[in-house]
Amino acid sequence: MADTTDSDGDQVFRLTYRSRLRVPQPDRKAELGAIFSTARSKNSRAGITGALLVWEDHIVQSLEGDEEAVRALYDVIERDPRHDRVEMLGTETAARVFGRWSMARVTEDDEPDIPLLMNRDKGGISPAAPRATTLEQDAALDAMREQIRG
């Protein structure tokens, strides 16, 4: 598995996209929990990290890791029937920013961001222990918030 420590100096490929979530609101908590559980496991094995912003029925996500692995994951997301209007916002090669997070929910209102854990007993997602963010993470998260508001 890839070293996924924050800002470890290694350059990774980062892809950011947005989409519209097609999951009905009553089913969203459980469905997002299933998505996060699968993503954490598969992303960790593939050395992919990132952050996900969910606001109403909109998503902005940044994925980072090996370019081939990230692009393959994006191809899967584009075909996922739970997403609509998938749009790539940009790509870059940069230092890994979200190394501690195989998946984290980003708040849309500038409140502290929440690393997430799958909670099988409650049929959804639950917050993990909060962690401080770095300046690089704050900049990337602010850009994601701007994309979802735009």
The domains located in the chain, with CATH, are 11-149 (3.30.70.100)
In this model, does residue 135 exceed pLDDT 80? no
| pLDDT of the residue at 59 | 87
Q: How many other C-beta atoms are found inside a 10 Å radius of the C-beta of residue 110?
A: 9
In this model, does residue 26 exceed pLDDT 80? yes
Determine contact, residues 21/78, Cβ cutoff 8 Å. no
**Which has the minimum average pLDDT: 13-17, 23-27, 62-66, 125-129?**
125-129
Determine contact, residues 58/148, Cβ cutoff 8 Å. yes
| pLDDT of the residue at 132 | 65
The pair of structure tokens assigned to 47 is: 């050395």
- Range list of β-strands (E), the chain: 11-21, 49-55, 58-65, 83-95, 104-106, 114-119, 124-127
pTM as predicted: 0.72
Quick one: which H or E segment has residue 149?
A: helix 135-149
Determine contact, residues 7/43, Cβ cutoff 8 Å. no
Top-confidence residue, 25 or 118: 25
Determine contact, residues 113/105, Cβ cutoff 8 Å. yes
Top-confidence residue, 33 or 117: 33
The DSSP bridge partners found for residue 138 are none
CA-to-CA distance for 20 and 128, rounded, in angstroms?
25
CA-to-CA distance for 67 and 80, rounded, in angstroms?
20
Residues 80-102 pLDDT 10s: 999 999 999 999 999 998 887 65
